[in-house]
Amino acid sequence: MTQPSEGLNAALTVEPAASSSYGLQAVVQGPGPAPVRTFRTLRRTWLLGTALLSAGAFAGAIVLAPDGSDPPGRALGTLLFLGSSVHVAATGWFFTLPEIRAHAAAHRGRYVVAPAALVLGTALAATIVPYEQVQWALLAYLAWQFFHFQKQNLGMAALAGVAQRTGSVHPLERRAIMLAGAGGIAALLVHPELLQLGIDPPLRFMFPVAFVVFAVGVAIGLYALARRDGRPAAFTAIYLISLLFFAPVFIFDSPYAAVAGLTIAHGYQYLLIVGLVSGAPRRGRSGMTGLCIMAAIALLGGIALDQASHMHGSPLLWERALYGAYLGAVMAHFVIDAGLWRLRDEFPRRFLTASVPYLLKP
């Protein structure tokens, strides 16, 4: 299976190559060098936006969480819709760009074959496998999803360090984030009530062990952060959010208080940076046009995904197939992101440096 999204990783420290076979030198076009003040404003927008949206997502989920497993109210439901289905659908915007389509055509396995196989395979599986058994497969799906979340957290911390000229996350800082994430993911897998899955895993007694893993990761991360020479406030905030991302899992018994904040924070982080990328002026397209196109694709696609996500219990085969296709589409989002945000590869590095130079080359 294709590896999950690696996010904006340690390759942030690699300088872009001088040449490109994709013509990306012409991707972003403007009247001349952008004013330093504009770049500074955009950089602060991303830094403060990422920190505030993430913290606000957790606070909102905790405050708005219903009792027990009751369904969420309209406010929390809207936050979840934007942070889950809409953020997944936003990936579709990338394929409106000729250079992305050319790159996908040159790497069909990742960008065409794997996504199609995931969507078709899960659609078929959902029609022939009873949902009671599908729930066990959902544990593996959700483990991949939360690993994707933590890889993005790592990328956000790395990008915050680069944007503030303190350097990408150091190896020990990186390992601490991933170790804390492993503890959080393990806790969710052995406590599936928090995921609203009606199964009884045999390793439920491992929940305290998962907490120890999480706590050790946090302790290492705090130690590594204390050793860092430069600790700007925005970087520190984003790093701590990444490190403590799974803390609600160990604090709350309510599924929405424990898990909804993870989904909302992840989705809003993604929508913010994709909004900045789509808002970059390109040849033949203004920044506002690109942003509006992205928003339209994300909203319309999000509505479709949200509708399909509730069809798992339907007696109709075609509705269960749509539910399976929804799961496949989310996994396809993981796979596509793994390529488009992998900055140690030349194409993503050049594309993103051209789109958000104030983050990658401040």
Name the burial class of residue 18, with classes exposed (0-12), middle (13-18) and buried (19+) by CB atoms within 10 angstroms of its CB: exposed
Q: How far is CA 35 from CA 42, 128, 277, in A?
A: 11, 58, 18
Give per-10-residue mean pLDDT for the chain (362 aa). Answer: 40 36 39 68 94 96 87 93 96 96 96 97 92 86 95 94 91 97 96 87 88 98 93 94 97 94 97 95 84 96 95 87 96 94 89 91 67
* pLDDT for position 28: 43
User: In sequence order, what are the residues at sequence separation of 6 or more whose Cβ sits closer than 8 angstroms to the Cβ of residue 74?
Assistant: none
* pLDDT for position 33: 53
Neighbours of 340 (CB within 10 A): 22
Determine which helix (DSSP H) or strand (DSSP E) holds 223, and give its type and residue range.
helix 207-227
In whole angstroms, give the CA distance from residue 254 to residue 226: 33
Q: Is 205 helix (H, G, I), strand (E, B) or coil?
A: helix
